[in-house]
Amino acid sequence: MLPAGLPRIAVEAGVTEGWWKFGCAAVIGIDTYGESAPAPALFEHFHFTVDNVVATVRKVLSRK
């Protein structure tokens, strides 16, 4: 368990729906399906990248 007061950010290579109930400040995932391409291309298409995770974490932390 994370201590109270720390922002939570979920990173899921799938549907994000279930994460919001844990009080996440941000959830990064892929909520659509049906695309077909190599995984790296799809991750880029859906912004499921290291750069996006880092940017999201920075954005959440800047709110404190």
State the DSSP code for 54.
H
Residue 64: per-residue pLDDT: 66
Is residue 3 assigned to a domain? no
Q: How many whole angstroms separate alpha carbon 25 and alpha carbon 4? A: 13
The DSSP secondary-structure symbol of 30 reads -
Look at residue 43 and tell me if it is in a domain: yes
Residue 15's domain comprises: 9-62
pLDDT at residue number 2: 73
Tell me the pLDDT band of 8, cut-offs 50, 70 and 90: very high
Is residue 20 domain-resident? Answer: yes
Q: Is residue 16 part of a domain?
A: yes
pLDDT grade, residue 3 (50/70/90)? Answer: confident
Q: Given this model, what pLDDT does residue 16 score?
A: 94
Residue type, 10: A
The Cα–Cα gap between 26 and 9 comes to: 5
Rounded Cα distance between 20 and 40, Å, is 26
Q: Is residue 19 part of a domain?
A: yes
Q: What is the pLDDT of residues 20-54, one digit of tens each?
A: 998 899 999 999 988 999 999 999 999 999 999 99
Domains of the chain: total:
1
CATH number at residue 50: 3.40.50.920
